[in-house]
Amino acid sequence: MATLTDKGTSVSLEFRFNEIGEVTEIYSPGRFSRFDDGYRLVPWQGYFRDYQVQTGMRVPLHGEVGWYENGALQLVWKGNIIEARYELEP
Residue 66 lies inside a defined structural domain of this protein: yes
Return d(Cα 19, Cα 13) in angstroms, integer.
Answer: 20
Report whether pLDDT(88) > 80: no
Mean pLDDT in residue range 16-44: 91
Residue pLDDT, tens place only, 28-41: 998 888 888 889 88
Q: In the chain, how many H helices and how many E strands?
A: 0, 6
Containing structural domain, residue 51: 2-80
Distance of CA 89 to the CA centre of its chain: 24
Residues 27 and 11: beta-carbon distance below 8 Å: no
Residue 20 lies inside a defined structural domain of this protein: yes
Structural domains of the chain, count: 1
Mean pLDDT in residue range 27-56: 90
Residue 89 lies inside a defined structural domain of this protein: no
Residue 85 lies inside a defined structural domain of this protein: no
Residue 59 lies inside a defined structural domain of this protein: yes
Report whether pLDDT(5) > 90: yes
Q: Which amino acid is at 36?
A: D
Residue 62 lies inside a defined structural domain of this protein: yes
Residue 86 lies inside a defined structural domain of this protein: no
Return d(Cα 55, Cα 48) in angstroms, integer.
Answer: 19
The model carries a pTM of: 0.81
Report whether pLDDT(56) > 90: no
- Give pLDDT, residue 11: 86
